Structure 1
Amino acid sequence: MTELRSTAEPATSTAATPSKKDSRRALVSSFLGSTVEYYDFLLYGAAAGLVFPVLFFPETMDPTVGAMLSFVILLAGYISRPIGGILFGHFGDRFGRKNVLFITLMMMGAVSVLIGLMPTYDAIGVAAPLTLVFLRIVQGLAVGGEWAGATLMAAEHVKEGRRGFAASIAVTGGPTGSVLATLVLGIFAGLPDEQFLSWGWRIPFLLSAVIVIIGLYLRYRVTESPDFAKAREKGEVHTGVPILRVLKKYPLSSLYGILAVAGPLFMQALLAVWAVPYVAAQGVVPRQDALYMLTFSSFVHIFAIPFFAWLSDRFGRRPVMLAGALISVALVFPMFALLNSGTYWGVALAFLVGNPIIQASMYGPIGAFLAEKFETQDRYTGVSLTFQLGSVLGAGTAPLMATWLMGLDNGAGTSNIAWYFIGLIVVGAIAVLLSKETLRRASKD
């Protein structure tokens, strides 16, 4: 079906083809930069269900309430992400991608170190959760500007026919950061509870400082996006407010992008934040082993995302994402059956079905799918806005929705979560179906 638009179709880039050296450097920089960003962001998510309810709320509080409040703070970071996307997208579309990405990385590193040094509720009382909220919001602002910028720096440094795969290299920073976060946290989660809650959980946050330094070095060396540089040379970079142009020129494109990403991101956050403490509470899989299961599935995820993106470079964004929607609907109930199997290897297989298959099948092409909806001068803001609002709808609400759905008195348990996920996927598939295919047009220009 043809996508309706309120203005002309997005123009494809006329930028000169960048050198192979610049392309490789941009890909590596985007990948490692996103890895650092999501290591910090997802480390909080992993700790939210294991540590923060115990340390940053009163001991007299019911553990379930503490977990819910911890997830609310988690949601605060997701809510601030669209604001960060608009803010950094504004500067990215006005002044270029490179400097903005340098700033977002520094912000993320600083916040992670501060969380690792934070005093607990016993030491400073209510100031502890309030400080955690503030730091989480700053984290969300930084990530809001990071995802689109890193994805565009990768995609805009290669030929148009390879943009799906190139964009996915930056996207794989998410599961790579998850691998590092859960692996490092898992190592320390093996400590006795007293040591883990006293100092063990802090080390992964403090270690991010080392990774940030490496990421900043790589970001400093990368060249500006050729697409943006060409647009600036031709005088096509507007001096107005990018968000107003995006809302006026691409209302339906933005809406379709938001709805398309919500389902895959719900599954990603569900496994990264909710599933580990849920599995550990069943007593079949120890906390540390559950984190390692998530780590291994995220490692496979790193290769699954580029695979589905590569397929989209060959067959189109829409066919691959629609096939991914069918895969997601078909496998979500088997995934939960494995998660509830009461067997060690059944739970491990559930993570493998959830991340590299269900989530990646629709998520792999998402970077190019969103980027190709917008013109160069509006692209940073457009991609940031659509992805981050979809992130709030999908990932940000996932732990809270899962906890609430599990608590319903209909006795359905995880089936409630599965049906909710299917609803998100169906809506996302309709949005993809209504979107125009951009691969063939981009490849010919």
Structure 2
Amino acid sequence: MTATTETIDKGTRNRVFFGSLSGSAIEWFDFFLYATAAGLIFDKQFFPAGDPVTSLMLSYLTLSLTFFVRPLGGVVFAHIGDKVGRKKTLVITISLMGGATVAIGLLPTFDQVGMLAPTLLVLCRIVQGLAIGGEWGGALLLAYEYAPKNRRGLFGAVPQTGITVGMLLSTIAFAIVTALPGNTFEAWAWRVPFLFSIVLVLLGLWIRNGLEETPAFRKAQEHGEPPKLPLADTLRDHWRSVLVAVGAKVIETAPFYIFATFVVGYATMDALGYQRVTVLNAVTAGAVVSTAVILVAGRLSDSLGRRRVFTAGAVLVGIVTVPFFTLIDVRQPWAIYLAVILGLGVAWSPTTATIGTLTSEIFSTRVRYTGVTLGYQIGAALAGGTAPLLATWMLRAFDGSWVPIATYLLGCAVLSIVAVALSPRITRIETAALLARGIDPDIHAHEETVLKA
């Protein structure tokens, strides 16, 4: 008989808790190494010299293009996750991510091999995109499907802290190597964090070894054959929920890449003149605050509801966008610290704390991996990697004004609030349709309006 989430012993829960966090943190560490380097060094190492803004846009283009690979990776690995299991999928994704990251640290530069350099860089980034596309859903469901019913919000927030922990580790790594004297950073030191990734990957594989499949997945296997094609079943039974997940992702991803990634290249431009170390330290401070706020927001969602906490975060993002850029314009170290802490640490955190649990609760177990991954990765492709590129273009098109960027973030907030507001009604419609066809929906709806349906 399959153990339920209420009968899992504390030791197993602790292993799952740490396993989902560590693996997620390692994957995002690798991912953000690239995102940070795109704003600091890749424009100089892998693209022809000339117009600095154009080179920076090309660097961000390699960042954004691979976001469109993430949905493909999500579909492939979610298919494996819904048919074979969450655990086995996570082993594959972390291995792919680590291999691609180490390879980036070994790549030749544009001056050495010409156009082959950016070509190889893009290929490595594609592999990273495929891996992260499948990792997020697996790490989330590992925690969520082991969690007791009254703690799903907290457990679902744990792998989300992997995002900020991974970013924190990558930012610290770059802060160390950028502080080296002379041109050491440009010459070779930027490669060190990428090569060091192999140590973390081996650690992650060791931690995840021995974890069993989640109780929810084993229960689904006992009650019927897994779907032959999870993607087809998801699009047939939950296409509305996929759209909700895409809409919710917009406000969770676009502000993040503005507050944490775009700000590195933006603030260090000649017009503002911040030192790289100062900006990276500000992002580090924002990540520390965010990690704590994510856990608090996740726990609050268990009592206040996912939608309320998520919506509060979306509203906060809309409120702080103007102060964020206004503070950066002060051109003082304290101002950029405050800007990043407000934007990344406080406003963004409630949305990322709840998006995983919120979207998990609108899909049935048999296709949950595919559903949450598809919505998350499509949203990331539309509004995530494109955000720094779009923001850089806006700066150039509007003579350095940040007002269009702030307006864009406000529009993202409105879109996500509307999408999440529609989720209870959509869940009721899809649950009724599954029941009418004799299929057990097995949807873990948390919101009271859904539970009453």
1:181 and 2:167 correspond: no
SS in structure 1 of the partner of residue 268 of structure 2? helix
RMSD: 1.8
Name the CA distance, whole Å, in 2 between partners of 1:259 and 1:283. Answer: 34
The Cα of 1:283 is off from its aligned counterpart by 4.9
Name the CA distance, whole Å, in 1 between partners of 2:326 and 2:244. Answer: 31
Name the CA distance, whole Å, in 1 between partners of 2:128 and 2:21. Answer: 19
Distance 1:412 1:122, change over 3 A: closer
What does residue 34 of structure 2 align with? Answer: 44
How many aligned positions are there?
Answer: 430
Distance 1:312 1:236, change over 3 A: farther
What does residue 148 of structure 1 align with? Answer: 137
What does residue 48 of structure 2 align with? Answer: 58
Name the CA distance, whole Å, in 2 between partners of 1:57 and 1:23. Answer: 47
Q: Return 286-295 or 17-26, whichever deviates more.
A: 17-26
Paired letter, 2:202: I
What does residue 418 of structure 2 align with? Answer: 430
TM-superposition CA deviations, 1:182-231 (whole Å, max 9, x none) = 10111101124521111110001011111111100011122211110111
Name the CA distance, whole Å, in 2 between partners of 1:386 and 1:358. Answer: 22
The Cα of 1:331 is off from its aligned counterpart by 1.7
Name the CA distance, whole Å, in 1 between partners of 2:129 and 2:414. Answer: 27
Q: How does 1:237-256 map to 2 (within 5 A)?
A: 237-238=226-227, 240-256=228-244
What does residue 258 of structure 1 align with? Answer: 246
Name the CA distance, whole Å, in 1 between partners of 2:229 and 2:7. Answer: 29
Structure 2 unaligned residues grouped into runs of 5+: 428-444
1:230 and 2:222 correspond: no
Q: How does 1:354-369 map to 2 (within 5 A)?
A: 354-369=343-358
1:285 and 2:274 correspond: yes
Name the CA distance, whole Å, in 2 between partners of 1:412 and 1:131. Answer: 32
Query: Conserved in 2, the CA contact under 8 Å of 1:161 and 1:443?
Result: no
Paired letter, 2:8: P
Which of 272, 275, 282 is equivalent to 2:260? 272
The Cα of 1:251 is off from its aligned counterpart by 1.3
TM-superposition CA deviations, 1:69-110 (whole Å, max 9, x none) = 111110122111110000000000000000100010001111
The Cα of 1:16 is off from its aligned counterpart by 6.2
Q: Return 332-341 or 84-93, whichever deviates more.
A: 332-341
Structure 1 unaligned residues grouped into runs of 5+: 1-12
What does residue 296 of structure 1 align with? Answer: 285
Which of 17, 21, 27 is equivalent to 2:11? 21
The Cα of 1:357 is off from its aligned counterpart by 1.4
TM-superposition CA deviations, 1:33-86 (whole Å, max 9, x none) = 000000000100000011111011123x32211111111110122111110000
1:312 and 2:307 correspond: no
What does residue 402 of structure 1 align with? Answer: 391
Q: How does 1:58-77 map to 2 (within 5 A)?
A: 58-59=48-49, 61-77=50-66
Give the TM-score of the pair, scaled to structure 1: 0.93
Q: How does 1:45-194 map to 2 (within 5 A)?
A: 45-59=35-49, 61-192=50-181, 194=183
TM-superposition CA deviations, 1:99-126 (whole Å, max 9, x none) = 1000100011111111011111122111
Distance 1:25 1:14, change over 3 A: closer
Q: Return 153-162 or 136-145, whichever deviates more.
A: 153-162
Query: Conserved in 1, the CA contact under 8 Å of 2:156 and 2:353?
Result: no
Taking only the aligned residue pairs, the percentage that are identical comes to: 38
What does residue 195 of structure 1 align with? Answer: 184
Name the CA distance, whole Å, in 2 between partners of 1:241 and 1:174. Answer: 30
What does residue 218 of structure 1 align with? Answer: 207
Paired letter, 2:160: V
Name the CA distance, whole Å, in 1 between partners of 2:100 and 2:363. Answer: 32
What does residue 3 of structure 1 align with? Answer: none
Paired letter, 1:26: V
The Cα of 1:383 is off from its aligned counterpart by 0.7
Paired letter, 2:409: F
Paired letter, 1:84: G
Query: Conserved in 1, the CA contact under 8 Å of 2:87 and 2:212?
Result: yes
Name the CA distance, whole Å, in 2 between partners of 1:50 and 1:330. Answer: 29
1:439 and 2:446 correspond: yes
The Cα of 1:339 is off from its aligned counterpart by 1.6
Query: Conserved in 1, the CA contact under 8 Å of 2:272 and 2:329?
Result: no
Give the TM-score of the pair, scaled to structure 2: 0.91
Query: Conserved in 2, the CA contact under 8 Å of 1:17 and 1:158?
Result: no
